[in-house]
Amino acid sequence: MPNYTAPVEDMMFLFEKLRDNKNYNELEKYSEVSSELVKDILEEAAKINQNLILPLAIAGDENPAKLENGVVRTPPGYKEAYNKYIEDGWVSLSCDPKYGGQGMPKTVSAFFDEMLSATCLSFKLYSELTIGAYNCISHHATDEMKEKYLPKMVEGKWSGTMCLTEPVCGTDLGLLKTKAVEQSDGTYKISGQKIFITSGDHDLTENIIHLVIARSSDSPSGTKGISLFLVPKFIVKDDGSIGPRNGVSTGSVESKMGIKGSATCVLNFDDAVGYMIGPKNKGLSQMFTMMNLERILVGIQGLGLSEIAYQNSLSYAKERKQGKTNNTKSTNGADFIIEHADIRRSLLNMKSIVEGERALCFWLSQQTEVSLYHPDEKIKQEASDYVSLMTPVVKSLFTDLAMEITSDAMQIHGGYGFTKDQGIEQLYRDNRITPIYEGTNSVQAADLVFRKLSNKNGNIINNFMEMVKTECASKSEKVQIFSKQLEHYLAILSKFNDWIADKSKEGKDDVSAAANDYLKTLGYISLAFSWIKVLEVSFKEYDSNKDFYEDKINTAKFYFDKILPRSEYHYKSAISGSSNIMNFKFN
Amino acid sequence: MPNYTAPVEDMMFLFEKLRDNKNYNELEKYSEVSSELVKDILEEAAKINQNLILPLAIAGDENPAKLENGVVRTPPGYKEAYNKYIEDGWVSLSCDPKYGGQGMPKTVSAFFDEMLSATCLSFKLYSELTIGAYNCISHHATDEMKEKYLPKMVEGKWSGTMCLTEPVCGTDLGLLKTKAVEQSDGTYKISGQKIFITSGDHDLTENIIHLVIARSSDSPSGTKGISLFLVPKFIVKDDGSIGPRNGVSTGSVESKMGIKGSATCVLNFDDAVGYMIGPKNKGLSQMFTMMNLERILVGIQGLGLSEIAYQNSLSYAKERKQGKTNNTKSTNGADFIIEHADIRRSLLNMKSIVEGERALCFWLSQQTEVSLYHPDEKIKQEASDYVSLMTPVVKSLFTDLAMEITSDAMQIHGGYGFTKDQGIEQLYRDNRITPIYEGTNSVQAADLVFRKLSNKNGNIINNFMEMVKTECASKSEKVQIFSKQLEHYLAILSKFNDWIADKSKEGKDDVSAAANDYLKTLGYISLAFSWIKVLEVSFKEYDSNKDFYEDKINTAKFYFDKILPRSEYHYKSAISGSSNIMNFKFN
């Protein structure tokens, strides 16, 4: 079984030293979230993750969730762990105190999400979708619905799902066939099949609140005719107690490459009672409230799995002896593999990505809170634009790099990385869903280039670049060495932006074919931006904690020397265009 | 289950149009290997692979090889298929007619190896190691031993293994502990534990011939005290019949991420009777006869799995509708995903790598035959140098790119790529061992930069570059467009070579840290070199088969525009050096 120690020190470094968003710091609602409080939370979070949740990963891999006589059984130990988990209030961490939540900002809850992704992604998914559904209901439903459903969800006694995908529609929801027929009492009867429904059914909670998109009988075809419905597994009576079973049944549980502990279900809705949320035919935009936050969470899943992969690679490299180094002092026998240059390179590759991602994520968490709660509409919109821009980047880049990192971890473990004993190959398999679900990474890239670079408020990518340049400009001489390197790549990004803007007018296929490359270029530069922030603090506060800041500076140096140059390749690859690709005749 | 159609047309194109090595064409022993004969063989090979062997892949994944009451059972269907496979003589394809083989050159057998890797790598491994052992015995053993063991191995009635790895030594064989004690009759008693032994035990053959490296009691420590022994599972009597069981037993069969149909065994040798092969203490160099050819075969495994991943991605892209393209003509509903620019980009990425690899491999097969059989020692040595240089490149680049391609295949399949139904995720898992076994890709890279670029015969990498330049120089104007692109990267490789040569003197850690990057740079340029060869023919013979050559030219164009630029990133990443890496203090 892999080991895991929650990176509380690095998280507290970010919380204490990189909470630099003035607008975030102005938010009244978080004025009492002190360092002491956060540290206490993270230490408790570390304990439950390291002790209780980590062993669930292998348990779920060896005993996948399964459908037995119409009931979905979670793996051994999940139920007991889940009860403790909700008893300690972890589901409610970021929820509104009005419904029983603890009201923590994303600057804190994202750290918890990272830990939980590292220790057991399958287990996490049972409550992650609850929070997704919670967010959607609290944004769009009536007060009456909120009061009826949210407290139990926040408590973790009821869970939630997002029911979007159908056999013929994954990416393209306009094709959906699930029908909603209005009844005389204002409720709807929902019928249709939904597939790939995470936590679609299970034995952990008393009830499951499905958020279902469907087409009302009088709605138009395509995406403009989609409405959102709340469909409980068990009807909830007016007094809040559990009533009869609703018309939702589980057709099957998928057999998957990874996250086997998570029940991925085919759900059959057969005249199930549903309650419309928000206005008719606006279901897709309501669902996207949930989807956008969910996509960032998927990026954080990749970060968490990367962290645990790094930790185990590091400890294995310290205890495995093999081969002699160039500067070996041993006259017989081998050196520890951590002394080999190439293994060190691989470890620093992981570390510099993981820590850069965590810092970028922390910056994004601040922006997210500002986008949700700042009183000034203009500031709120600006933050919202940055969140929009970074959502596909974080989702795709973090999950793709997590594939690189979990794969490199297998490589460091050699044959032992490919066998089941040490649990390393499971990290790759569990992560492998993250570039696929919540919109494949290609869909994210298309979303980025066609919808996120600019909007009615202006040129978002230019604002982002200005912000990065400002960050680069105002720094100490020591930071300048790094800023200069970044400026070379910023100039490339600037050319890439112009190219995209130009081609968006009359070479859309060029843009489509370049989308993945563009996302990578912007992503690597965004990580460099977060490293510049870390460097500024590291040089300024160097004397207060030399070992820690020395480590940060050298890790950043690796990132700038060895990884950032990838962004240039992606630019070169992209600008060769798409005419050859589009004209190609596939046999 | 994935589909597979053997790419016989592309293979025959190579065999007929790219058999351009004068020295190979002079080899007397292959003068009768005509196009007609090869086509017949490939068509028969296609049939057995497509019909009989392909279904074994999923059978083995669902019912892994297992140890039952001391006997290793292969998955259902393996035994029946194996019997047919040897009855049809496929094991013997490349073996010497003297021992019952069919004497086909590697220019032919490599195509068969590719097909078999695509359809079922687990099944392939049962005979692949037999051929490895065959090669080693036929190079190093006495005539008496050859006559005793080879005919049955060529027939496929007996199989072979390579027993190198032990718990404390994988990469670093100098650490091995298995002992060999000489007996009065000249035989040895072998004792020790070997792990990760592919096909170490199974129920497909009457006997298993283990090639074991061990240390004789009077031998020095380290790699200079290793000898090679033949240790049969059952003692073979003087009349060639099977005698009593030898002291070899199976400790366990590994539970692995992939190639589950292949029995990866822990073997315990307990005073097992062994016969020394070749001179004492020269075991490692003898074993490397087997290892080098085996490493190229591992590269071909990656190629085969890439081909089947490509084929299934292509057919899925043609039948799956999702989303509208930029130029959609559909007023309602979605377009086939093959019409989307980004999916086309991904498919061409696969195709241009696969076909470039196949062409490079064909070039290498010719060189291998020249290195083994050309009468002129100088020509033989020159070919041998190229084979040496390309062995780590083919092994590492092809297997790493197969990870990229099998992963991209999952991505194209979306959620259906992550579930078990379509067998796509299995391609990734089965391939995932290839960058690890036969020396991890990092070990290959170190081997390349420290031992393969030059030797006592001179500067091999310079000779290689000269050859590529010659190939680039003498071409038509149409090829020149591509040659010019390649020359830019050749100039980079040239600088990289100088940097490596320079650092090899007093910055060995810089070289170690750059080894992976160097292998990639050389690898991508080698693929471009093979594409130049393909292009030359394609333009010259264009009118004779327009569709085919148009396809080649456009596939090459994709490679040069979109993939070849990667080689520059690797150079930039590498030359930043290693001082930061080596000085880093890992906590």
Average pLDDT for A464-488: 94
Q: Do A561 and B576 touch (CB under 8 A)?
A: yes
Please list every residue in chain B whose beta carbon sits closer than 8 Å to the beta carbon of residue A410.
Answer: 432, 436
* Residue A396 contacts residue A449 (beta carbons within 8 Å): no
Residue B193 CB burial class (10 angstroms; 0-12, 13-18, ≥19): middle
Mutate which of A433, A561, A575, A579 to disrupt the B interface (most B C-beta within 10 Å)? Answer: A561
Residue A572's closest chain B neighbor by CA? Answer: B565
Q: Do A442 and B338 touch (CB under 8 A)?
A: no
Residue range A30-46, pLDDT digits in tens:
999 999 999 999 999 99
Alpha-carbon distance of B51 to B73, in angstroms, equals 23
Least Cα separation, residue A550 to chain B (angstroms): 9
Residue A568's SS3 state is helix
Which residue among A171, A341, A417 sits closest to B512, beta carbon to beta carbon?
A341
- The count of CB pairs under 8 A between chains A and B is 251
Which three-class secondary structure state does DSSP give residue B472? helix
Q: Which of helix, strand or coil describes residue B269? A: strand
Contact A468, A413 (CB under 8 A): no
Tokens of A24: 């975030």
- Note the ipTM here: 0.95
Chain A CA closest to residue B552: A584
Phi then psi dihedrals of residue A132, to 5 deg? -60, -50
Q: Give how far B345 is from chain A: nearest CA, Å.
A: 6
The beta strand positions in A36-185, using DSSP E, are 66-68, 71-73, 158-163, 179-182
Among A341, A565, A577, select the one facing B582 at the smallest CB separation.
Answer: A341
Report which of residues A535 and A421 the model is more confident about.
A535
**Chain A contact for B556 (CB, 8 A cutoff):** no
A550 contacts in chain B (CB < 8 Å): 585
B425 touches chain A (CB under 8 A): yes
Residue A297 corresponds to which tokens in the numbers above? 């969470």
The first and second tokens of residue B420, run together, are: 């078990």
Among chain B residues, the shortest Cα distance to A430 is held by B418
Please name the residue of chain A whose CA is at the shortest distance from the CA of residue B338.
Answer: A586
With beta carbons under 8 A apart, name residues in chain A contacting B257. Answer: 418-420, 425, 428-429
A161's CB contacts (< 8 A; 6+ apart) are: A129, A133, A197, A198, A199, A200, A208, A209, A210, A211
pLDDT exceeding 90 applies to what percent of chain A? 91
Q: Is B175 on the interface with A (CB under 8 A)?
A: yes
pLDDT of residue B474: 74
CB nearest to A433's CB, from B343, B418, B445: B418
d(CA A371, CA A131): 18
Is the CB of A343 less than 8 angstroms away from the CB of B436?
Answer: no
Residues of chain B with Cβ-Cβ distance to A177 below 8 Å are: none
Choose the weakest-confidence range: A64-68, A278-282, A455-459, B276-280: A455-459
Q: Which amino acid is located at B328 in the chain?
A: T
- What is the H or E stretch that residue B43 is in? helix B35-47
Q: What is the DSSP letter of A103?
A: -
The pLDDT profile of chain B, 587 residues, written as one tens digit per residue, is 999 999 999 999 999 999 999 999 999 999 999 999 999 999 999 999 999 999 999 999 999 999 999 999 999 999 999 999 999 999 999 999 999 999 999 999 999 999 999 999 999 999 999 999 999 999 999 999 999 999 999 999 999 999 999 988 877 788 899 999 999 999 999 999 999 999 999 999 999 999 999 999 999 988 899 999 999 999 999 999 999 999 999 999 999 999 999 999 999 999 999 999 999 999 988 888 678 889 999 999 999 999 999 999 999 999 998 888 988 877 667 889 999 999 999 999 999 999 999 999 999 999 999 999 999 999 999 999 999 999 999 999 999 999 999 999 999 999 999 999 889 999 999 999 999 999 999 999 999 999 999 888 779 999 999 999 999 997 789 999 999 999 999 999 999 999 999 999 988 999 999 999 999 999 999 999 999 999 999 999 999 999 999 999 999 999 999 999 999 999 999 999 999 999 999 98
- Lowest model confidence (mean pLDDT) among A184-188, A324-328, A344-348, A490-494: A324-328
Q: Which of A183, A184, A185, A192 is nearest to A210 (CA)?
A: A192
Exposed/middle/buried for B565, CB within 10 Å: 0-12, 13-18, 19+?
buried
B438 is annotated as an active-site residue: yes
Q: Which residue of A has its CA nearest to B175?
A: A333
| Domain coordinates in residue numbering, chain A | 8-143, 154-284, 453-587
Which of B380, B356, B397 lies closest to B523 in space, CA to CA?
A: B397
Position B332 scores a pLDDT of: 64
Q: Are B413 and B422 in contact (CB under 8 A)?
A: yes
B250 at interface of A, judged by CB pairs closer than 8 A: no
Chain A nearest-CA distance from B484, in A, is 15
| Residue A182 bridge partners (DSSP) | A188
A-interface mutation test, from B396, B586, B587, most A Cβ less than 10 A away: B586
What are the chain A neighbours of B307 within 8 Å (beta carbons)? Answer: none
Is the CB of residue B58 less than 8 Å away from at least one CB of chain A?
no
Residue A84 vs residues A63, A94, A301, A304: alpha-carbon distances, Å:
21, 18, 22, 22
Measure CB to CB from residue A419 to each of B255, B318, B572 and give the nearest one: B255
Taking residues A521-539, report their average pLDDT. 98
Burial state string for B387-408 with b = 16 or more CB within 10 A and e = fewer than 16? bbbbbbbbbbbbbbbbbebbbb
CB-based contacts of B241, cutoff 8 Å, min separation 6: none
List CB contacts of A198: < 8 A, sequence separation 6 or more. Answer: A125, A129, A161, A162, A262, A263, A264, A437
The catalytic residue positions of A are: 438
**Which listed residue (B128, B254, B355, B438) is catalytic?**
B438
Rounded Cα distance, B38 and B18, in Å:
14
CATH fold label, B157-283: Butyryl-CoA Dehydrogenase, subunit A; domain 2 (2.40.110)
Find, in chain A, the residue whose alpha carbon is nearest to that of B254.
A419
Question: Is A172 part of the contact surface with chain B (CB cutoff 8 Å)?
Answer: yes
Token pair, residue B326, equals 């930029």
Task: Name the amino acid, one letter, at A327.
Answer: N
Place of tokens 């009457």: B206
Please report the pLDDT score of residue B501 as a whole number.
95
B560 and B531 Cβ atoms separated by less than 8 Å: yes
CA distance B82 to chain A (A): 26
pLDDT in tens, A133-158: 999 999 999 999 999 999 999 999 99
Q: Alpha carbon A544 to chain centroid distance?
A: 33
Measuring CA to CA, how many Å separate A191 from each of A186, A212, A245, A252?
16, 10, 15, 17
CB–CB contact A333 B175 (8 Å): yes
What pLDDT score was predicted for residue A332? 64
Closest chain B residue by Cα to residue A338: B586
Contact yes or no for B274/B231 (Cβ under 8 A)? yes
Q: Which residues in chain B have their CB less than 8 angstroms from residue A509's CB?
A: 326-327, 341
Report the interhelical angle of B35-47 vs B106-140 (nearest 10°). 90
**A258 is written with which tokens?**
């990874």
pLDDT for residue B265: 98
Give chain A's length: 587
Residues 261 to 290 of A: which have CB under 8 A from any B CB? Answer: 264
Q: What percent of chain A is predicted at pLDDT more than 70?
A: 99
Determine whether domain A154-284 maps to CATH 2.40.110.20.
yes
CATH of A8-143, one of 1.10.540.10, 1.10.10.10, 1.10.357.10, 3.40.50.300: 1.10.540.10
CA A41 to CA A571: how far, in whole Å?
42
Q: What is the structure's pLDDT at B85?
A: 98
This prediction has a pTM of: 0.96
What is the distance in angstroms between the Cα of A349 and the nearest Cα belonging to chain B? 10
**Whose CA is closest to A562, among A279, A344, A264?**
A344
pLDDT at A228: 97
- Given the structure tokens 């594409």, which residue do they identify? B531
A237 min Cα distance to partner chain B (Å): 36
Q: What residues 105-124 of chain B have any CB closer than 8 A to a CB of chain A?
A: none
Query: CB A513 to CB B318 under 8 A?
Result: no
| Sole residue written with tokens 């086997």 | A260
Between β-strands A158-163 and A207-216, what pairing exists: parallel, antiparallel or unpaired?
parallel
Q: Which of residues 469-498 of B touch A (CB under 8 A)?
A: none
Compute the distance between CA of residue A508 and CA of residue B562 in angstroms, rounded to an integer: 18
